A and B are shown apart, each in its own frame.
Chain A
């Protein structure tokens, strides 16, 4: 069955620390990959997405992610986190083409950044 795994459920960092959140998916075909963020009390917002081309994608707020096809991974990174990055981060996969396709979400990683 198609699934998305996020390895870290809770991450605690100090400001200016570097961040890497792991995401692996199980699907052999063409996939579209996303990272969504949910700030406290707010709705899911798109951080970045990968459809094709350069496997290193840059998103909003200094986030980037690297698609490694051979590892079925799409890890999220940020070189220096801020307190305002405290949120829950969700990796999601859209398995294949078709505008009506579902997103399969990982369990989420709750990030707490301390000043």
Chain B
């Protein structure tokens, strides 16, 4: 069964460093998302991406964040200068339907630890 994959599973970085989290969505999917979950808190929407541009972003997704689909398979989330509060589990998701059939498939997550 096709699935969303994410690398790395765990990333440790120093405050102020740039990190890139990678995702490979399901191959025929067109809509891509990033969510994050700070330990003990809700899963929060960060950004959605369709047709090579951002469709929607949350207040969390400030200028320090960017997303890219550099080729036909990868979808990346970049944090330019990490802060302690960026420590969280980051989930990538993808879906293939528009409108009312928006079932999103999630990857296993990348645990980001900022020291």
Binary CB contact string for chain B from 34 to 70 against chain A (1 if under 8 A, 0 otherwise): 0100000111110011100001101000000000000
| Cross-chain pair count, CB within 8 angstroms | 71
Q: Do B99 and A97 touch across chains, with their CB atoms under 8 A apart?
A: yes
Chain A residue, CB-CB nearest to B4: A43
Q: Do B43 and A90 touch across chains, with their CB atoms under 8 A apart?
A: yes
Q: Which chain A residues border B101 with CB–CB below 8 Å? A: 51, 99
Given contacts A43-B109, A90-B43, A108-B42, contact A98 B98 (CB under 8 A): yes
Given contacts A43-B108, A90-B43, A107-B42, contact A32 B50 (CB under 8 A): no
Task: Give min CB distance, A23 to chain B, whole Å.
Answer: 13
Q: Which chain A residues border B18 with CB–CB below 8 Å? A: none
Q: Which chain A residues border B58 with CB–CB below 8 Å? A: 102
Given contacts A99-B31, A100-B50, contact A94 B108 (CB under 8 A): no
In the assembled complex, the Cα of A102 lies from the Cα of B50 at a distance in Å of 12
Q: Do B42 and A99 touch across chains, with their CB atoms under 8 A apart?
A: no
Chain A residue, CB-CB nearest to B53: A100
| Chain A interface residue number, banded | 20 to 34
Task: Give min CB distance, A50 to chain B, whole Å.
Answer: 10
In the assembled complex, the Cα of A98 lies from the Cα of B91 at a distance in Å of 20
Q: Which chain B residues border A8 with CB–CB below 8 Å? A: none
Q: Which chain B residues border A103 with CB–CB below 8 Å? A: 33, 35, 43, 45, 93, 104
Q: Is B75 an interface residue (CB 8 A)?
A: no
Q: Which chain A residues border B107 with CB–CB below 8 Å? A: 43
Task: Give min CB distance, A53 to chain B, whole Å.
Answer: 11
Q: Is B100 an interface residue (CB 8 A)?
A: yes
In the assembled complex, the Cα of A107 lies from the Cα of B41 at a distance in Å of 6
Q: Which chain B residues border A42 with CB–CB below 8 Å? A: 108
Q: Which chain B residues border A105 with CB–CB below 8 Å? A: 35, 42-44
Mind listing 7 A-B residue pairs with CB under 8 Å? A92-B43, A98-B98, A100-B98, A101-B48, A102-B45, A103-B45, A107-B42
